[in-house]
């Protein structure tokens, strides 16, 4: 029996046609990553490009295909059935055809880390070593360390949170204390923008009061020891900030300025 090239190629064409008929054309993915917060996702689906059926054809949660009713104009991705604990990592993949309008996840923020920590303990040594322990962290969020100086809370550093719910997490951070009494605390800010604070820890430093600020300044300010400082103009704009035993004032314009340093606030005149 003699078979020409068309006869040999026919089965391949048939298999290709079958593959095309059962596979969504030009499939794409919507990927959401975050932490389980005890809430489900809601998706607004669109019609397929041919006008029959819907755009989404599969949804997976951490690699497992869901049983959600995605073949409808709107559906819920039920995360509660996937053996997740609050704070667990979640990766949701919504597979859709590309010949249709993109489906929309209505509440993706439910996977964003949420600040839920509870402070078990917080204390600081006389040399400024801050230690704190927390529990019930539902997601990985940064702890912002603040120190109370000059009648306000001042940012002094950051520590990455561990985000393990149900366990106690221990942290530490070296704060540079000013002379006398000090207060320090930590906070987290999640997607809501609302800070969550720890109680403040207090310490008393044995450091001597920093001195050396004249009422009138020429080219520099020399402190008696290194200190954190801020210089403001009369309009409240910060013009210098740092940690040093000396401030270069040569480039300041003539006028009145306000200086925060150590645990003090003073006014000085730049002469020229």
25-47 tens-digit pLDDT: 457 999 999 989 889 999 999 99
Proportion of the chain above pLDDT 70, given as a percent: 90
216-270, CATH topology level:
Immunoglobulin-like (2.60.40)
Note the pLDDT tens digit of each residue in 258-268.
999 999 999 99
Note the pLDDT tens digit of each residue in 208-236.
999 989 999 999 999 999 999 999 999 99
Query: 73 pLDDT exceeds 70?
Result: yes
Note the pLDDT tens digit of each residue in 131-146.
999 999 988 899 999 9
List Cα–Cα distances, 34 to 38, 138, 163, 221, in angstroms. Answer: 12, 11, 12, 49
Give the architecture-level CATH label for domain 118-205: Distorted Sandwich (2.70)
Regarding pTM above 0.85, the answer is no
Q: Which of 87, 94, 95 is nearest to 112 (CA)?
A: 87
Please tell me the predicted confidence (pLDDT) of residue 26.
55
Angle at 135 between CA 61 and CA 114, to 5 degrees: 45
Given a contact cutoff of 8 angstroms between Cβ atoms, the answer to whether 166 and 244 are in contact is no
In sequence order, the β-bridge partners of residue 222 are 246
Mean of pLDDT values over 81-100: 90
Counting runs of H as helices and runs of E as strands, what totals does the chain give?
1, 20
Proportion of the chain above pLDDT 90, given as a percent: 74
Query: 185 pLDDT exceeds 60?
Result: yes
Query: 165 pLDDT exceeds 80?
Result: no
List Cα–Cα distances, 161 to 36, 270, 271, in angstroms. Answer: 16, 44, 48
Q: Which of 203, 174, 204, 176 is nearest to 262 (CA)?
A: 176
């Amino acid at each position: 029996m003699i078979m020409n090239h068309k006869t040999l190629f026919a089965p391949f064409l048939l298999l290709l046609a079958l593959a095309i008929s059962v596979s969504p054309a030009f499939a794409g993915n919507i990927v959401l990553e975050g932490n389980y917060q005890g809430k489900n996702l809601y998706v607004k689906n669109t019609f397929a490009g041919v006008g029959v059926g819907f755009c989404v054809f599969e949804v997976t949660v951490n690699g497992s295909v869901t049983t959600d009713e995605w073949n409808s104009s709107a559906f819920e991705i039920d995360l509660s059935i996937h053996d997740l604990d609050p704070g667990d990592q979640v990766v949701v993949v919504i597979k859709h055809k590309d010949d249709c309008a993109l489906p929309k996840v209505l509440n993706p923020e439910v996977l964003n880390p949420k600040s839920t920590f509870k402070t078990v303990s917080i204390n600081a040594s006389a040399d400024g070593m801050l230690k704190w322990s927390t529990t019930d962290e539902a997601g990985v969020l940064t702890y912002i360390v603040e120190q109370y100086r000059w009648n306000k809370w001042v940012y002094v550093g950051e520590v990455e949170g561990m985000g393990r719910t149900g366990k106690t997490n221990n942290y530490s951070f070296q704060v540079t204390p000013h002379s006398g009494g000090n207060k320090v605390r930590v906070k987290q800010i999640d997607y809501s923008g609302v800070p969550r604070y720890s109680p403040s820890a207090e310490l008393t430093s044995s450091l001597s009061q920093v001195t050396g600020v004249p009422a009138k300044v020429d080219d520099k300010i020399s402190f008696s020891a290194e200190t954190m400082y801020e210089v403001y103009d009369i309009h409240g704009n910060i013009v210098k900030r740092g940690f040093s035993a000396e401030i270069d004032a040569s480039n300041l314009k003539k006028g009145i300025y306000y200086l925060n340093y150590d645990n003090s606030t003073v006014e000085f005149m730049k002469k020229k």
